[in-house]
Amino acid sequence: MDAAFLLISLLNGLSVGLLLFMLASGLTLIFSMMGVLNFAHASFYMLGAYVAYSITQVIGFWTALLLAPLIVGVLGALFERHALRRVHKFGHVPELLITFGLSYIILELVQLVWGRQAVDFTPPPSLSGALFTIIDAPSSLSFAWGEKPEGCGTGGVRCTTFPAFRAFGMGVAVLMLISIWLLLTRTRIGLVIQASLTHPEAVESLGHNVPRVFMLVFGGGTALAALAGVIGGAMRVTEPSMALTVGAVVFAVIVIGGMGSLAGAFVASVGLGVIESFAVSSDHSIADGLTALGMAVTPETFGFALWSVKLSQIAAILPYLLLVLILIFRPKGLFGSREG
Amino acid sequence: MAANASFNRGRWIVWGGYALLMLVAPLLFTSSLSMTMLSQMGIAIIACLAFNMLLGQGGMLSFGHAVYSGLGSFIAIHALNRVSDGTLALPVSLIPLVGGLGGLFFAALLGYVSTKKAGTPFAMITLGIGELVAAMSLMFPGFFGGEGGITGNRVAGQPFFGITFGPQSQLYYLIAIYTFVCTALMFAFTRTPLGRMLNACRDNPERVEFVGYNTRYVRYIAFMTSGFFMGIAGGLATLNFEIVTSEVVGAIRSGGYLLFTFLGGATFFFGPIIGAVLLVLALVLLSELTQAWLLYLGLVFTFMVMFAPGGIASLIMMNLRVASFGKWRQLLVPYLMLLGAAMIAVTGASAMIEMVYHLQLNQVLGPEMRFAGVPLNAKSKGSWVAAAVVLVVGVLLFELARRRFAPLWGRIQEEIETEIKRREARA
Q: Burial level of A96, CB count in 10 A (0-12/13-18/19+)? A: buried
Tell me if A130 sits within 8 A of A163, measured CB to CB. yes
In total, chain A counts a number of residues equal to 340
Whether residues B368 and B294 fall in one domain: no
Mean pLDDT across chain B: 85
Question: For strand B150-151 and strand B243-244, is the pairing parallel, antiparallel, or unpaired?
Answer: antiparallel
* DSSP conformation letters of B199-251: HHHHH-HHHHHHHT--HHHHHHHHHHHHHHHHHHHHHHHHHHHSEE-GGGGSH
CATH number at residue B150: 1.10.3470
Cα(B377)–Cα(B100) distance, integer angstroms: 52
Nearest to B260 by CA among A274, A268, A97: A97
* DSSP conformation letters of B247-300: GGGSHHHHHHHHHHHHHH-SSSTTHHHHHHHHHHHIIIIIHHH-TTHHHHHHHH
| Orientation angle between helical segments A262-280 and A318-329, nearest 10 degrees | 130
Q: Within a domain: residue B402?
A: yes
Q: Within a domain: residue B1?
A: no
Could you report the per-residue pLDDT of B52-67, keeping only the tens digit for each? 998 888 888 888 889 9
The residue of chain B nearest to residue A110, with distances taken between CA atoms, is B295
Which residues 143-172 of A are in CB contact (within 8 Å) with B? Answer: none
Per-residue confidence (pLDDT) for residue B222, from 0 to 100: 93
Could you report the per-residue pLDDT of A102-157, keeping only the tens digit for each? 998 999 889 888 888 888 888 888 777 777 777 777 777 777 777 776 667 676 77
Task: Judge: B255–A31 Cβ closer than 8 Å, yes or no.
Answer: no
Per-residue confidence (pLDDT) for residue A339, from 0 to 100: 46
Task: Judge: B298–A105 Cβ closer than 8 Å, yes or no.
Answer: yes
Tell me if B236 sits within 8 A of B178, measured CB to CB. yes
Q: What are phi and psi of A294, to 5 degrees?
A: 95, 5
A328 interaction partners in chain B (CB closer than 8 Å): 113
Question: What percent of chain B shows pLDDT beyond 90?
Answer: 23
pLDDT higher than threshold 50 for residue B37? yes
Nearest to A333 by CA among A14, A31, A16, A26: A31
Strands (DSSP E) contained in chain A are: 130-136, 141-145, 158-163
Distance from CA of A108 to the nearest CA of B (A): 6
Q: Within a domain: residue B3?
A: no
Tell me if B102 sits within 8 A of B75, measured CB to CB. yes
* Residue B157 identity: G
Tell me if A102 sits within 8 A of A79, measured CB to CB. yes
Last residue of a domain, one of B268, B283, B308: B308
Confidence band of A329 (pLDDT split at 50, 70, 90): confident
Cα(A234)–Cα(A243) distance, integer angstroms: 14
Q: What total number of domains does chain B contain?
A: 2
Select the more confidently predicted residue: A320 or A287: A320
Per-residue confidence (pLDDT) for residue A313, from 0 to 100: 75
Whether residues B273 and B361 fall in one domain: no
pLDDT higher than threshold 80 for residue A94? yes
pLDDT higher than threshold 80 for residue B38? yes
Mean pLDDT of A240-249: 85
Question: What percent of chain B shows pLDDT beyond 70?
Answer: 96
- Choose the mutation target among A256, A317, A325 for the interface with B, i.e. most B CBs under 10 Å: A317
Cα(B322)–Cα(B335) distance, integer angstroms: 13
Per-residue confidence (pLDDT) for residue B322, from 0 to 100: 84
Q: Within a domain: residue B316?
A: no
- H/E element, B151: strand B150-151
Could you report the per-residue pLDDT of B320-344, keeping only the tens digit for each? 888 888 877 777 888 888 888 888 8
Strand partners, A132: A145, A162
For residue B272, what are the CA distances in angstroms to B43, B50, B276, B277?
Answer: 12, 9, 6, 9
Confidence band of A338 (pLDDT split at 50, 70, 90): low
B116 interaction partners in chain A (CB closer than 8 Å): 327, 331
Per-residue confidence (pLDDT) for residue B119, from 0 to 100: 79
Q: What are phi and psi of A147, to 5 degrees?
A: -70, 175
Whether residues B131 and B251 fall in one domain: yes
pLDDT higher than threshold 50 for residue B161? yes
ipTM of the complex: 0.84
Mean pLDDT of B261-279: 90
- Choose the mutation target among A89, A105, A244, A302 for the interface with B, i.e. most B CBs under 10 Å: A105
Mean pLDDT of B109-131: 85
In this structure, of A182-196, A269-283, B62-76, B366-380, the range with the lowest mean pLDDT score is B366-380
User: B302 and chain A: CB distance < 8 Å anywhere?
Assistant: yes
Per-residue confidence (pLDDT) for residue A303, from 0 to 100: 65
For residue A199, what are the CA distances in angstroms to A123, A216, A337?
Answer: 44, 17, 18
Confidence band of B272 (pLDDT split at 50, 70, 90): very high
Task: Judge: A316–B135 Cβ closer than 8 Å, yes or no.
Answer: yes
Cα(A3)–Cα(A140) distance, integer angstroms: 10
Q: Burial level of A70, CB count in 10 A (0-12/13-18/19+)? A: middle
Cα(B292)–Cα(B299) distance, integer angstroms: 11
Could you report the per-residue pLDDT of A201-212, keeping only the tens digit for each? 888 888 888 888
Which residues 174-213 of B are in CB contact (within 8 Å) with A? Answer: none
* Domain with B217 in it: 9-308
Confidence band of A340 (pLDDT split at 50, 70, 90): very low
pLDDT higher than threshold 60 for residue B3? no
Could you report the per-residue pLDDT of A23-55, keeping only the tens digit for each? 898 888 888 877 788 889 999 999 999 999 999
- Choose the mutation target among B54, B65, B109, B131 for the interface with A, i.e. most A CBs under 10 Å: B131
pLDDT higher than threshold 60 for residue A191? yes
Whether residues B107 and B217 fall in one domain: yes
Distance from CA of B302 to the nearest CA of A (A): 5
Task: Judge: A321–B122 Cβ closer than 8 Å, yes or no.
Answer: no
Whether residues B239 and B350 fall in one domain: no
Q: What are phi and psi of A160, to 5 degrees?
A: -125, 130
3-state DSSP assignment of residue A206: coil
Mean pLDDT of B28-55: 89
Name which of A92, A248, A328 is nearest B131 (Cβ-Cβ): A248
Whether residues B332 and B294 fall in one domain: no
Cα(A121)–Cα(A230) distance, integer angstroms: 9
Question: For strand B368-371 and strand B243-244, is the pairing parallel, antiparallel, or unpaired?
Answer: unpaired
Q: What are phi and psi of B371, to 5 degrees?
A: -125, 115
Whether residues B293 and B401 fall in one domain: no
Per-residue confidence (pLDDT) for residue B375, from 0 to 100: 76
Mean pLDDT of A297-301: 66
3-state DSSP assignment of residue B147: coil
Whether residues B202 and B172 fall in one domain: yes
Tell me if B285 sits within 8 A of B300, measured CB to CB. no
Mean pLDDT of B418-422: 87
In this structure, of A33-42, B64-73, B157-166, the range with the lowest mean pLDDT score is B157-166
SS (H, E, C) B91-141: CHHHHHHHHHHHHHHHHHHHHHHHCCCCHHHHHHHHHHHHHHHHHHHHHCH
Per-residue confidence (pLDDT) for residue B348, from 0 to 100: 86
User: Whole-prediction pTM value?
Assistant: 0.86
Per-residue confidence (pLDDT) for residue B327, from 0 to 100: 78
Mean pLDDT of A315-340: 77
pLDDT higher than threshold 50 for residue A18? yes
pLDDT higher than threshold 50 for residue B28? yes
Whether residues B27 and B88 fall in one domain: yes
Confidence band of B71 (pLDDT split at 50, 70, 90): very high
Confidence band of B2 (pLDDT split at 50, 70, 90): very low
For residue B275, what are the CA distances in angstroms to A4, B188, B240, B278, B375?
Answer: 57, 20, 20, 5, 33
Name which of A90, A107, A248 is nearest B128 (Cβ-Cβ): A248
Mean pLDDT across chain A: 83
* DSSP conformation letters of A79-147: HIIIIIHHHGGG-HHHHHHHHHHHHHHHHHHHHHHH-SSPB-----GGGSSEEEEEEE-SS-EEEEESS
Cα(B100)–Cα(B75) distance, integer angstroms: 9
Confidence band of B107 (pLDDT split at 50, 70, 90): very high
The residue of chain B nearest to residue A307, with distances taken between CA atoms, is B140
The H helix count followed by the E strand count for chain A is: 15, 3
Whether residues B234 and B349 fall in one domain: no
Per-residue confidence (pLDDT) for residue B1, from 0 to 100: 40
Mean pLDDT of A45-69: 90
Cα(A217)–Cα(A73) distance, integer angstroms: 10
* Residue B233 identity: A
Per-residue confidence (pLDDT) for residue A300, from 0 to 100: 66
Whether residues B267 and B404 fall in one domain: no
**Residue A297: how many CA atoms within 13 Å on its side-chain side?**
17
Cα(A166)–Cα(A168) distance, integer angstroms: 5
Tell me if B314 sits within 8 A of B267, measured CB to CB. yes
Cα(A298)–Cα(B175) distance, integer angstroms: 43
Tell me if B129 sits within 8 A of B254, measured CB to CB. no
Confidence band of A305 (pLDDT split at 50, 70, 90): low
Sequence-distant (≥ 6) Cβ neighbours of residue B426 within 8 angstroms = none
Whether residues B288 and B371 fall in one domain: no
Q: Within a domain: residue B318?
A: no
Confidence band of B235 (pLDDT split at 50, 70, 90): very high
